Amino acid sequence: MLGFWVIAAVITLIVAAVLLRALMRGADRDVAPRAASDMDVYRAQLAEVDRDVARGVIAPADAERVHAEVARRLIAADKAQKSDTRSKSHAPAGIAIAIIMIAILGSVASYLWLGQPGYSDMGLQDRIAFAEEVRKTRPRQAAAEASLPAFVDPDEMDDRYRTLMSQLRSTVAERPDDLQGHTLLAQQERRLGNFLAAKAAQQRVVTLKGAEVSSQDLADLGELQVLAAGGYVSPEAETSLRAALVQAPDNSTARYYLGLMLVQTGRPDQAFRIWDALLRAGPEDAPWIPPIVAQIEELAQRAGVNYALPEIGSSSRGPTASDLENAAQLTPGERMEMIGSMVAGLSERLATEGGPSRDWARLISSLGVLGEWQRAAAIHANALEVFANDPNAIDLINEAGRKAGVVE
């Protein structure tokens, strides 16, 4: 870092010297020699008077008076020249120095505002390694919760509802194995905005369900952990979210918050793919759609993707009833041609816009049905690269590859 500032300082001084020299030379040229020209004229007049006296053209007494007047003007012109030179040479020098100082200070201020002092430029692998280090060393759930103010029941809370909540809390505290009570408590505490208490109740729900716990139970726990931490996705929340995705890779709640975790830990590329897939899957009234829409264009920019918002829910729309009716009336050859056309459209969309892992899996499986095993194998390999850091997506893609006959 010290080397950067030394190099920057040297370059700045060189540029400042060049600018100052150029401005000073321009200033010297701009000092008008008007007084000097007057002095030359007066000297010529004095010489002419002396010649006229020598030729007898004018009397010595007259010549002396003319000589005194011209000499007086000569002295005045000399003073004017010196004053003009000082004022015109010093002022541009001051202006030049002021301009250079403003430029230097402006450059430093711009860098401190837009740049990142202390950080060197990082290659892709270094950025990925740095993001992984950030992910591994980020604060735990307890630290994030401790940094937030304690929850207080809202003043506008209805007295009857306040009494019911007090009874519910007391009852659940006395019955630690009451699954229904903890489920209800988690819902009501969340409704109040008491996310810490809601998280504790949902944690108990997950524990009580044991092997019967569902993907949505785990996703709800992960979401409450994020809310209890003020929107921060802690390692504990990530564990809950990934557990939900093991059971159901298409759990949208878990996928949204996992994308948020990737945003927070410096992987906008992976977060963009997850959120873009959620937008395309829809539905439009899903709670994660508005926050994704508000952030994904900036996220795409950070990921280096030239992006336009897709139609929400576009990838989840299958064949219409009319398509299915028409397909039933086709001959086997015509039906295969129709499937080939649909596959071509899906392939083009994935190549130009990308899409969720299940669309890639669908394309690989469809190509296997059509007998285009080489294309299926190539797209399978491409999909493995695209989703290299998403284990759930890799499992889905490999399963499609096995169906298509391109993976053993």
Q: How confident is the model at residue 202 (pLDDT cuts 50, 70, 90)?
A: very high
Q: How many CB atoms lie within 10 A of CB 140?
A: 12
CA atoms within 13 A on the CB side of 93: 8
Spatial distance between the Cα atoms of 190 and 182, rounded to a whole number of angstroms: 12
At 11-55, the pLDDT tens digits run 777 877 776 676 666 555 444 455 556 666 767 777 776 776 677
Q: What is the pLDDT of residue 324?
A: 47
Spatial distance between the Cα atoms of 16 and 14, rounded to a whole number of angstroms: 5
What CATH number belongs to 136-149+158-266? Answer: 1.25.40.10
Main-chain phi, psi angles of 355, to 5 degrees: 175, 175
Q: How confident is the model at residue 333 (pLDDT cuts 50, 70, 90)?
A: low
Q: Decide: 226 and 236 in contact? Cβ < 8 Å.
A: no
Residue 397 has pLDDT above 50, yes or no: yes
Q: Decide: 32 and 84 in contact? Cβ < 8 Å.
A: yes
Count Cβ atoms within 10 A of the Cβ of residue 93 and give its class: 0-12 exposed, 13-18 middle, 19 or more buried.
middle
Distances (CA, A) of 173 to 169, 187, 204: 6, 16, 11
Spatial distance between the Cα atoms of 44 and 77, rounded to a whole number of angstroms: 14
Please state which of the ranges 99-103, 218-222, 305-309 shows the lowest mean pLDDT: 99-103
Spatial distance between the Cα atoms of 158 and 16, rounded to a whole number of angstroms: 70
More confident residue, 380 or 389: 380
**Arithmetic mean of pLDDT, 113-132:** 64
Q: How many CB atoms lie within 10 A of CB 236?
A: 19
Q: Domain ranges for the chain, please list them.
A: 2-114, 136-149+158-266, 318-404
Which residue from 367, 314, 378 is spatially nearest to 339, judged by alpha carbons? 367
At 248-270, the pLDDT tens digits run 888 999 999 999 999 999 999 88
Which residue from 56, 80, 60 is spatially nearest to 68, judged by alpha carbons? 60
Six token digits for residue 180: 């229904």
Cβ-based neighbours of 95, under 8 Å, separated by 6 or more: 23
Could you tell me where the beta strands, DSSP code E, fall in 123-168?
none
Residue 126 has pLDDT above 90, yes or no: no
Average pLDDT, the chain: 80
Residue 232 has pLDDT above 90, yes or no: yes
Does pTM top 0.75 for this prediction? no
C-alpha dihedral, 136 to 142 to 143 to 148, nearest 10°: 130
